[in-house]
Structure 1
Amino acid sequence: MVTGFLNLYKPLHWTSHDCVAKVRRLLHQKKVGHGGTLDPAASGVLPIALGRATRLLQFLPADKAYRAVIRLGMVTATDDLAGETLQTAGAAHLSEAAAIAPLADFVGTIEQLPPRYSAIQVQGQRLYDLARQGQEFDVPQRTVTVYHIEPIAWQPGEFPELTVDITCGAGTYIRSIARDLGEKLGVGGTLAALERTKSSGFTLDGSWTLAALESQLQAATYQPLPPEIALQHHPRIELSADQARRWQQGQKIPHKFREADLSCPYYQVYNPDQMFLGMTAWAFIPDTDETRLLPKVVFTPPAPEA
């Protein structure tokens, strides 16, 4: 069984599930998962976990980055071009400077109203299912973080398009930013194109197409990205052979931390041979000054005792 990570480039019109199913067929293994769902109308970075690495998806970084094309002067039911057009106002009068001016309002920790056609659940049902059934419902607001928005290009016309690069936290809907920018400008807006350029620590320049993956597999040259590379944003802890064995058995091992290190919730765990063993948390033991390692995911099982 292949184990590790794949930085996959998801093509347009494919669902994230379609990509997982294709990778399963190519690798002839069932244990394949993905991090950070990407809509069919979007392309770009889709992190794929293979084999036992599926248990490590929860430890990948949450921040994401996108290149988005926002079409102004148009409102759609889904806040992108896949949905029914609800309104067209035309926005040929807009200048690039006027379109860019409100972008600062979307940077920071903000309240965002997700699209009505989204995968968010309300009372156990997906919003897109409720919307397709024609039901009335309130979309719950959510708090999201947008770190940076940079304008990249401007295309004037009756329905001008503004291209922006966006860096944001998990759960941010770029479709909502497109819709809300159009509302601020008084002309309406919708997302015309979206490419994810970074997700879970993986970037566009290191991504593989499905065709490239298939070619590498046919040539028997494909090597997945090892967990220790994908998880390098977490600090490392090296245990002695005895400590490593006991930690792998689920025991809470005493470990001394520097005070500065206690800001990190999770650590990679290695044995003296530099073998990646899994991920650990830590906790103070009540009524003592002792900290102990709490096994979260034991990636490599303990070797049998001699």
Structure 2
Amino acid sequence: MARRGKKPKGRAINGWVILDKPKGMGSTDCVGKLKWLYFAQKCGHAGTLDPLASGMLPIAFGDATKTVPYVMDGRKTYRFTVRWGVQTTTDDTEGTPVATSDLRPGEDQIRECLGHYVGEIEQVPPAFSAIKIAGERAYDLARSGETVEIESRIVTVHSLDIVETPDADTTVFEAECGKGTYVRAIARDLGRDLGCYGHIVELRRTAVGAFEEADMVPLDDLLEAGEEGREELDAEAIEAGAKARIIDFEPLDEYIIEPEAALSELYEVMLGDDQASRVLAGNSVLLKGRDAPAFCDEAFATGHGRLIALGAIEQGSFHPKRVFGGKG
């Protein structure tokens, strides 16, 4: 007799919470915290953010985890502060100095260099990074004392600008870049080119893919929302060692954004109930209306008030490639 699988533990929720990650907390720790807080069956993040960095960490629940690649492949915006005069092993404040200089660049001198860091550029990721070398993370090898050799790669920087110059030792930048770009490496290489060295002392991510700074919610706000929905225990239960549970998730759920928010750059196919049911069964449907495209490599379909599938449009028909079964 076939063995029945265990029922998933937790709530079957679908959507995004755009966390404003605090400094000092790892991305995996954030996922664990929100999974516990929301009592969610399935949870993941779109793009690792260093523990020393703060800012946007999109957290996906349920069906939204299937849209994570579209977020990770999107543009990212960072605001970061470079301190001149010191290069470190990690290219940030966590490492130890490896080179120093008494030289300090002027703003005009910095601006003259910025053009070399915009467009498709060749970049060597930091030794302390999540890049895998023979199956091991570069930062694990570096921390164990091994010499880490990482090959250069082509990355895309869409823009790089000076935001402000607080003093002679520091400059604040904002960069919009593509997948796989390390702003710590930009700070390192810029310092070398200017002949003064440099490393990042503050790093904050403000946008990822379709998500903007206004979408972010601080962890403290989520914790407060959890407390709003926590049950009240009487003295007898407290004396017996009982722990209060979150029984009302409505205050937390107000921060959830629909799964399709990650797909804003794709064409949306809006289906009626009959067509939506056909797509949910894995069938293609003919699109009607003079504005419906005949071909589209990537599109998503919505129906029954939610995201139901990812797919493509061929010869005027939507062909589902991945169906979303959750009800959320």
* Pairwise same-fold verdict (TM > 0.5): yes
Alignment partner, residue 293 of structure 1: 318
1:225 to 254, 257, 269: 257
Equivalent pair of 1:99/1:162 in contact (CA under 8 Å): no
**Partner Cα distance (1:207, 1:276) in 2:** 22
| 1:204 maps onto 2:235 in alignment | no
The 3 A distance-change label for structure 1 pair 261 and 120 is: farther
In structure 1, what is the Cα distance between the partners aligned to 2:137 and 2:296? 34
Q: Is the 8 A contact 1:56 1:297 kept in 2?
A: no
Cα separation, 2, equivalents of 1:143 and 1:169: 10
Report the aligned-residue RMSD: 2.4
Matching residue's letter, 2:86: M
Question: Which of these residues, 22, 26, 39, is aligned with residue 15 of structure 1?
Answer: 26
Change (3 A) 1:210 1:263: farther
Q: Give the equivalent residue in structure 2 for 1:27.
A: 38
Relative to structure 1, the CA distance from residue 262 to residue 142 in structure 2 (aligned partners, 3 Å threshold; closer, same or farther) is farther
Residue range with higher mean Cα deviation, 162-171 or 127-136: 127-136
Structure 1 gap segments, 5+ residues each: 284-289
Q: Distance in 1 between matches of 2:200 and 2:306?
A: 45
Residue-by-residue CA offset, 1:245-288 (whole Å, 9 max, x unaligned): 232122344557989957753222123x54431222345xxxxx
Q: Which residue of 1 aligns with 2:232?
A: none
**TM value normalised by structure 2:** 0.81
- Pairing 1:32-71 to 2, within 5 Å after superposition: 32-60=43-71, 62-71=74-83
Report the Cα offset of residue 136 of structure 1: 3.3
- The letter of the residue matching 2:309 is G
| Equivalent residues of 1:74, 1:88 under 8 A apart | yes
Shift of residue 240, structure 1, vs aligned partner = 4.4
Give the AA of the match of 1:208.
V
Aligned identity (percent) is 35
How has the CA–CA distance of structure 1 residues 129 and 256 changed in structure 2, closer, same or farther, with 3 Å as cutoff? farther
The SS at the match of 2:217 is coil
3-state SS of paired residue (1:83): coil
Secondary structure of 1:99's counterpart equals helix
1:286 is matched with none
Bigger drift between 36-45 and 130-139 goes to 130-139
Aligned to 1:87: 99
User: 1:241: how far off?
Assistant: 3.7
2:282 and 2:111 map into 1 onto residues whose CA distance is 54
Which deviates more from structure 2 when the two are superposed, residues 26-35 or residues 8-17?
26-35
Query: Aligned residues, how many?
Result: 292
Measured in 2, the distance between the counterparts of 1:183 and 1:263 equals 48
Q: Secondary structure at the match of 1:38?
A: coil
Q: CA deviation at 1:138?
A: 2.3
SS in 1 for 2:251: coil
Answer whether contact 2:27 2:45 (CA < 8 A) is retained. yes
Distance in 1 (CA, whole Å) between partners of 2:79 and 2:166 is 15
SS of residue paired to 1:269: strand
CA distance in 2, matches of 1:127, 1:260: 47
SS of residue in 2 equivalent to 1:265 = strand
Q: TM-score, normalised by structure 1?
A: 0.87
Distance 1:96 1:53 in 2: 43
Q: Do the aligned partners of 2:114 and 2:160 also contact (CA within 8 Å) in 1? A: yes
Counterpart Cα distance in 1 of 2:326 and 2:100: 60
The alignment status of 1:177 with 2:186, answered yes or no, reads yes
Q: 1:64–1:167: 8 Å Cα contact kept in structure 2?
A: yes
Cα distance in 2 for partners of 1:106, 1:59 equals 25
Q: Which moved more, 1:199-208 or 1:11-20?
A: 199-208
Amino acid of the structure 2 residue aligned with 1:227: P
What's the counterpart of residue 278 of structure 1?
A: 309
Shift of 1:105: 0.7
Q: Distance in 1 between matches of 2:123 and 2:272?
A: 48
Structure 1 residue 245 corresponds to structure 2 residue 257: no
How far did 1:218 drift? Answer: 3.2
Amino acid at match of 1:221: P
Matches within 5 A, 1:148-163: 148-157=159-168, 160-163=169-172
Choose 103-112 or 293-302, whichever is displaced more.
293-302
Is contact 2:63-2:326 (8 Å) kept?
no
